[in-house]
Amino acid sequence: METVYAICVGVLTTGGVYLVMRSHTFSVVLGLTLLSYAVNLFLFASGRLVVNQPAILGQSANPADPLPQALVLTAIVIGFAMTAFALILALRARSDLGNDQVDGRVRDDVLNKRKKSQGE
């Protein structure tokens, strides 16, 4: 189970990091969402993975750790709010700046290529 879990976190992080480095705001927001999924899974595992055990002391010999569950809950709520804010900001930037680039302007070489293809 640990291997599968680790692979899941790794794949999500890889995808998140790749998307975060894109130049379009929407991809970056998607990347942040993937990253926050990976982070939530990771936090959950930080209390060690235990299957089929209650999170209460005294009811079993090897109880699940309740604290990471509480941490994940907090992280989910905060991540959700922040993603919503980032999306609204991306929309605002789209209308204020006239494009959806993170840097607020289209790169010159991309612009030239676009002009050339329109000219043809």
Applying CB under 8 A, among 104, 107, 111, 114 the residue interacting with other proteins is 104
Of 52-60, 74-82, 111-119, the window that binds other proteins (rule: CB under 8 A) is 74-82
Ranges within 2-61 binding other proteins (CB under 8 A): 16, 20, 25, 28, 32, 35-36, 38-39, 42-43, 45-48
3-state SS, 21-58, equals CCCEHHHHHHHHHHHHHHHHHHHHHCCCCCCCCCCCCC
Size of residue set near other proteins by CB under 8 A: 36
* DSSP SS3 for 117: helix
The Cα–Cα gap between 86 and 36 comes to 13
Q: Which CB, 85 or 113, lies closer to other proteins?
A: 85
On whether the CB atoms of residues 41 and 117 are closer than 8 A, the answer is: no
C-alpha neighbours within 13 Å on the C-beta side of residue 82: 13
Q: Which CB, 55 or 93, lies closer to other proteins?
A: 93
Q: Which residues bind other proteins (CB under 8 A)?
A: 16, 20, 25, 28, 32, 35-36, 38-39, 42-43, 45-48, 67-68, 71, 74-75, 78-79, 81-83, 85-86, 89-90, 92-93, 96-97, 102-104
